[in-house]
Structure 1
């Protein structure tokens, strides 16, 4: 899924297709990465954005017990403030754009080619995909590790 999310961009509409915790739909980040301690004490982990956001249902699924700490409270407030600005549009479906084609259209052929590239053995691959970083950073690190050129140009730094 990390590769899929790195190769796609999610534009939220009604939230019916997008996983609440695991997908990078909030400013390109996953909620599980933003608030991992809240995720750990959440009773419901596999639901879509539309269900979680309906009446702030995600809040009612947080287990409040003696282990609820200042870290939990801090992450809860941060997450709540980020989610309070989200407005779902019931008339528009979620849109997933494939970043690897100019048109943004997904093809099965490209997905298989990407999986084939990922399966290429390298000692760095495990480290890249396990590291904490936004999916697109991991993806470009992986591309660099594979020696795959991108259309992005970087300014060369040199010592004088």
Structure 2
């Protein structure tokens, strides 16, 4: 419940991306990947610990490793959302000396 309230109330401006979750935090235009690409998120498998709740922006953007989180059937909706997320995050530059900002 506390996490849900936090997610609704807080937006994140990414600096170094080290403490922001790629798949589940609100860091892309004030939204989560789930908000923007719900079908894409459904093909990210739930291993333990769950990728969605552990892969940081820093880790995910490093060599585009977020792409390797995706498994399963790549239906048209999934591919469309994948390309949309690719466009949003490709070329994003992290700033190693700047912590993320929560507001």
Q: TM-score, normalised on structure 1? A: 0.55
Q: Runs of 5+ in structure 2 lacking a partner?
A: 46-50
Q: Which runs of 4+ in 1 moved over 6 A?
A: none
Q: Runs of 5+ in structure 1 lacking a partner?
A: 98-160
Task: Name 2:38's counterpart in structure 1.
Answer: 36
Task: Name 1:2's counterpart in structure 2.
Answer: 4
Mapping for residues 65-104 of structure 1, pairs under 5 Å: 67-97=73-103
Tell me the alpha carbon deviations over residues 106-145 of structure 1, each in whole angstroms, 9 at most, x when there is no partner: xxxxxxxxxxxxxxxxxxxxxxxxxxxxxxxxxxxxxxxx
- Name which one, 1 or 2, has greater alpha-carbon Rg: 1
Question: For 1:82 and 1:96, how far apart are their aligned partners in 2?
Answer: 20
Task: Quote how far apart the aligned CAs of 1:11 are.
Answer: 1.3
Does residue 52 of structure 2 align to residue 45 of structure 1?
A: yes
Task: Name 2:69's counterpart in structure 1.
Answer: 61
Task: Quote how far apart the aligned CAs of 1:5 are.
Answer: 2.6
Question: For 1:48 and 1:22, how far apart are their aligned partners in 2?
Answer: 9
Does residue 8 of structure 2 align to residue 11 of structure 1?
A: no
Higher relative contact order (CA 8 A, sep 6+): 2
Task: Quote how far apart the aligned CAs of 1:2 are.
Answer: 2.9
Task: Quote how far apart the aligned CAs of 1:33 are.
Answer: 1.2
Question: For 2:4 and 2:95, how far apart are their aligned partners in 1?
Answer: 26
Question: For 1:71 and 1:60, how far apart are their aligned partners in 2?
Answer: 18
Q: TM-score, normalised on structure 2? A: 0.82
